[in-house]
């Protein structure tokens, strides 16, 4: 739910979403993209891609109106093809061509298409939802390294994952949530036992001791 609010897919009842001081609360997904936010959704096939569309078409989703690819509403497919070829090479997407349906790619290469599209827009913030779900070991390593590379470039990354090992390997700070609220923010050196307790409704006191959280933690 939090990820959906941050990316404009769900309306917020309260609170604010700020990007670089700009309030984007309850803005449309398009407005949020224009504010510099990229989104890699949890469900790559239903929310990240249009499976019947080609690889090259999926690589310009959200940007098909851009002057680089269209003029007066008419898409220039030569420019789209050139753009797609560059991303396929840069992100090592294994495909028999950019004209084939993206549904014909493996899960790992479908995820690469999404990462290539979102990262190529040079966003200020990357919101990544369970990026390695259902991927093989090689694809997982590629996704992890891509996120580390973006972090090294100074990009802000908000990673949602139920894989604690993944979170601890990639994160500088970990916000643990329980029943819709943040139970605590810890660094990745925190023991898995302590994080596990927080996930189960036990949170840190300010002085560092662990106490059972009463009510909504």
Q: What is the pLDDT of residues 89-142, one digit of tens each?
A: 999 999 999 999 999 999 999 999 999 999 999 999 999 999 999 999 999 999
Answer whether residue 145 shows pLDDT above 70. yes
- 3-state DSSP assignment of residue 86: helix
Predicted pLDDT at 117: 96
In 3D, which of 159, 95, 107 has the Cα closest to residue 137? 107
Q: What is the pLDDT of residues 195-214, one digit of tens each?
A: 989 999 886 544 344 444 34
- Residues 99, 17: Cα–Cα separation, whole Å: 38
Predicted pLDDT at 66: 83
Predicted pLDDT at 203: 65
96 phi and psi angles, rounded to 5 deg: -80, 0
Section 176-192 average pLDDT: 91
Predicted pLDDT at 204: 58
More confident residue, 181 or 11: 11
63 phi and psi angles, rounded to 5 deg: -125, 10
Predicted pLDDT at 180: 86
CA 27 to chain centre: 18
Cα 45–Cα 47–Cα 53 angle in degrees, nearest 5? 60
Q: What is the pLDDT of residues 36-76, one digit of tens each?
A: 999 999 999 999 999 999 999 999 998 887 888 888 888 89
């Amino acid at each position: 739910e939090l990820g959906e609010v941050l990316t404009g897919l769900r309306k917020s009842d309260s609170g604010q979403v700020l990007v670089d001081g700009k309030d984007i609360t309850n803005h449309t997904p398009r407005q949020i993209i224009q504010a510099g936010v990229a989104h890699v959704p949890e469900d790559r096939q239903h929310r990240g891609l249009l499976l019947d569309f080609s690889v090259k078409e999926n690589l310009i989703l959200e940007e098909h109106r851009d002057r680089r690819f269209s003029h007066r509403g008419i898409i220039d497919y030569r420019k789209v093809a050139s753009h797609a070829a560059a991303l396929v090479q840069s992100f090592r997407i294994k495909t028999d061509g950019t004209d084939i349906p993206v549904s014909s790619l493996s899960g790992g290469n479908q995820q690469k298409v999404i990462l290539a599209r979102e990262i190529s827009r040079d966003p200020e913030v990357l919101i990544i939802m369970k990026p390695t779900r259902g991927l093989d070991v090689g694809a997982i390593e590629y996704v992890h390294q891509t996120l580390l590379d973006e972090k090294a470039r100074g990009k802000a990354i908000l990673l949602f994952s139920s894989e604690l090992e993944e979170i601890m390997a990639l994160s500088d700070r970990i916000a643990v949530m329980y029943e819709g609220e943040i139970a605590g923010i810890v660094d990745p050196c925190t023991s898995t036992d302590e994080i596990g307790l927080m996930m189960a409704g036990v949170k840190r006191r300010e002085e560092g001791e662990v106490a059972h959280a009463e009510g909504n933690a």
